[in-house]
Amino acid sequence: MSEALSVMVVDDQAPFLMAARAVIRRSEGFELVGEAENGLAAIELANEVHPNVVLMDINMPEMGGIEATKRIVENLPETFVVLCSTYEIDDLPPDAKTSGARAYVNKETLGAKTLRRLWDQRDEVDFAS
């Protein structure tokens, strides 16, 4: 079996962190390697753990997910960042699509199958279009 894909979760809300942990535990081939509560902490942690996947909230204190995504992708361009929020995709902030994130998922629909599908289709995903 190949090595598990490392996942980092960034969110300031405990309920979503708990839900994301459960999703990752149920997702074969994925492993939680870290959590951060804001964008500044996310940048620092990503530079330490070099995750394959980052599940990134958009609205957080100190630094939001869109700016943090820009900086993470600039430093670690191979990182697959998925923005996660409660927005409908048409209501995302305008700079979400130019942040470097490769996909968006509504928090309510995040599950093991969704995580696997996003990863498996990562080369086909064109979130910016």
Q: What is the CATH number of the domain that holds 19?
A: 3.40.50.2300
Q: Confirm whether 125 is domain-assigned.
A: no
pTM score:
0.94
Q: Confirm whether 53 is domain-assigned.
A: yes
Q: Confirm whether 59 is domain-assigned.
A: yes
CA–CA separation, 53 and 80 (whole Å): 5
Exposed / middle / buried, residue 107 (Cβ in 10 Å: 0-12, 13-18, 19+): middle
Domain span including residue 79: 5-120
57, 30 contact by CB (below 8 A): no
From first to last of its 129 residues, what are the pLDDT tens digits of the chain? 468 999 999 999 999 999 999 999 999 999 999 999 999 999 999 999 999 999 999 999 999 999 999 999 999 999 999 999 998 888 899 899 999 999 999 999 999 999 999 999 988 866 655
Q: Confirm whether 128 is domain-assigned.
A: no
Q: Confirm whether 23 is domain-assigned.
A: yes
pLDDT score, position 1: 45
CA–CA separation, 126 and 102 (whole Å): 7
Q: Confirm whether 127 is domain-assigned.
A: no
Domain count, the chain: 1
